[in-house]
Amino acid sequence: MLMLLTVMPIIMLSGIRAPLESMPGWLRAGIWFSPLRHFLEVGYGILLRGASVAALLDSILVMAGLGAVLFAFGLFRFRRQLA
Protein backbone atom coordinates (compact mmCIF):
# COMPACT_ATOMS: atom_id res chain seq x y z
CA MET A 1 0.00 0.00 0.00
CA LEU A 2 2.89 2.33 0.69
CA MET A 3 4.07 1.89 -2.89
CA LEU A 4 0.85 3.35 -4.24
CA LEU A 5 1.31 6.47 -2.14
CA THR A 6 5.00 7.09 -2.74
CA VAL A 7 6.53 5.23 -5.66
CA MET A 8 3.70 5.56 -8.16
CA PRO A 9 3.57 9.39 -8.05
CA ILE A 10 7.36 9.54 -8.37
CA ILE A 11 7.22 7.32 -11.45
CA MET A 12 4.31 9.18 -13.01
CA LEU A 13 5.87 12.61 -12.42
CA SER A 14 9.44 11.76 -13.39
CA GLY A 15 8.98 12.59 -17.05
CA ILE A 16 8.27 9.11 -18.38
CA ARG A 17 4.64 9.80 -19.25
CA ALA A 18 4.39 13.56 -19.44
CA PRO A 19 7.14 16.05 -20.29
CA LEU A 20 8.46 18.10 -17.39
CA GLU A 21 7.79 21.33 -19.29
CA SER A 22 4.03 20.71 -19.11
CA MET A 23 4.04 20.54 -15.30
CA PRO A 24 3.47 23.53 -13.03
CA GLY A 25 6.55 25.22 -11.61
CA TRP A 26 6.02 24.10 -8.03
CA LEU A 27 5.72 20.49 -9.15
CA ARG A 28 8.87 20.69 -11.28
CA ALA A 29 10.74 22.08 -8.28
CA GLY A 30 9.50 19.21 -6.10
CA ILE A 31 10.27 16.45 -8.57
CA TRP A 32 13.85 17.77 -8.86
CA PHE A 33 14.57 15.80 -5.66
CA SER A 34 13.65 12.51 -7.36
CA PRO A 35 16.66 10.48 -8.50
CA LEU A 36 14.49 8.85 -11.16
CA ARG A 37 14.15 12.16 -13.00
CA HIS A 38 17.91 12.53 -13.27
CA PHE A 39 18.39 8.86 -14.14
CA LEU A 40 15.99 9.28 -17.06
CA GLU A 41 17.94 12.30 -18.29
CA VAL A 42 21.17 10.29 -18.20
CA GLY A 43 19.58 7.21 -19.76
CA TYR A 44 17.91 9.13 -22.58
CA GLY A 45 21.07 11.15 -23.13
CA ILE A 46 23.26 8.10 -23.52
CA LEU A 47 20.87 5.77 -25.35
CA LEU A 48 18.95 8.15 -27.61
CA ARG A 49 21.22 11.13 -28.16
CA GLY A 50 24.62 9.51 -27.74
CA ALA A 51 25.69 12.27 -25.38
CA SER A 52 29.03 12.13 -23.62
CA VAL A 53 29.47 11.82 -19.88
CA ALA A 54 30.68 15.42 -19.75
CA ALA A 55 27.37 16.63 -21.18
CA LEU A 56 25.44 14.63 -18.57
CA LEU A 57 27.70 15.42 -15.64
CA ASP A 58 25.12 17.70 -13.95
CA SER A 59 22.53 14.93 -13.70
CA ILE A 60 25.12 12.38 -12.63
CA LEU A 61 26.37 14.64 -9.83
CA VAL A 62 22.82 15.37 -8.65
CA MET A 63 22.10 11.63 -8.53
CA ALA A 64 25.31 11.02 -6.60
CA GLY A 65 24.51 13.85 -4.20
CA LEU A 66 20.98 12.62 -3.57
CA GLY A 67 22.32 9.12 -3.03
CA ALA A 68 24.93 10.36 -0.57
CA VAL A 69 22.36 12.33 1.42
CA LEU A 70 19.94 9.39 1.56
CA PHE A 71 22.75 7.02 2.50
CA ALA A 72 23.91 9.33 5.30
CA PHE A 73 20.35 9.65 6.58
CA GLY A 74 19.90 5.86 6.57
CA LEU A 75 23.24 5.35 8.29
CA PHE A 76 22.31 7.91 10.95
CA ARG A 77 18.99 6.18 11.61
CA PHE A 78 20.62 2.74 11.67
CA ARG A 79 23.28 3.79 14.17
CA ARG A 80 20.71 5.54 16.34
CA GLN A 81 18.58 2.39 16.38
CA LEU A 82 21.50 0.21 17.51
CA ALA A 83 22.54 2.54 20.33
Along the 83 residues of the chain, how does pLDDT read in single tens digits? 788 888 888 888 888 888 888 989 998 888 889 899 999 999 999 999 999 999 999 999 999 999 999 999 999 999 999 87
CA atoms of 83 and 70, how far apart (whole Å)? 20
Q: What is the value of pTM for the model shown? A: 0.80
> What does the DSSP 8-state code read for residue 45?
I
